Amino acid sequence: MRTPDQILGPYFPMQIKPMASEDLTKLDGGSEAAQGETVQISGHIRNLEGKPVDGAKVLIWQANCFGRYSHPNDLNQAPLDPNFHGFAEIASDSSGAYRFRTVKPGAYPAIADWMRAPHVHFEVNGLFERLITQMYFPNDPLNTSDRFLMSAHQPDLLIAQNIPSENSSSCHKLRFDIVLARG
């Protein structure tokens, strides 16, 4: 099935350029790492026929580990991390694969009675279409109360899968495959 659409969100990055890097844990030219749990997210971008989408442009943006975006309209009182702006652009390879490192975003208050579950925003521009979606983290207790996740036709398609680690790496690995209708 096609990956469900999600909202673009109120905090699409402004006034900053996306990093041209697969590692969001360090700013270009920075020496300090971002705060929070490091995660590696990888997957494949395919069409409904299962064919890989080569060269899909993928924009990624997210809140920091405290649940705050580097955005002038984010009034959340959580701290900003000076070593993280959470915005990058990558591309899928000839097999449709993509991969990046980041920090697990924190939950944040959307409105008075609702906390958003941790999530990463994706804008995927394939050869024939554009998909805006969000990836959620497996087993997060806020998933079942996240109104955007629960409003999706098939919410399970938006939850990443854990990748078992073969060593004692401190980096949590997740798989999030993206399916476009035509690619």
Model confidence band, residue 81 (pLDDT cutoffs 50, 70, 90): very high
Q: Residue 30 pLDDT > 90, yes or no?
A: no
Q: Which is the catalytic residue, given 11, 46, 98, 108? A: 108
Tell me: the pLDDT tens digits for 114-157?
Answer: 999 999 999 999 999 999 999 999 999 999 999 999 999 999 99
172 labelled catalytic: no
Long-range contacts of 10-14 (CB under 8 A, 24+ apart): 10/73, 11/61, 11/63, 11/69, 11/71, 11/73, 11/74, 12/61, 12/71, 12/121, 13/61, 13/69, 13/70, 13/71, 13/85, 13/86, 13/87, 14/71, 14/72
* Catalytic annotation, pick one of 46, 101, 116, 136: 116
Q: Is 121 a catalytic residue?
A: yes
Residue 69 falls in the annotated catalytic set:
yes
Structural domain spans, the chain: 38-180
- CATH numeric code, 38-180: 2.60.130.10
The reported pLDDT for the residue numbered 15 is 81
pTM score over 0.85: yes
Q: What is the pLDDT of residue 16?
A: 87
In the predicted model, is pLDDT for residue 168 greater than 70? Answer: no
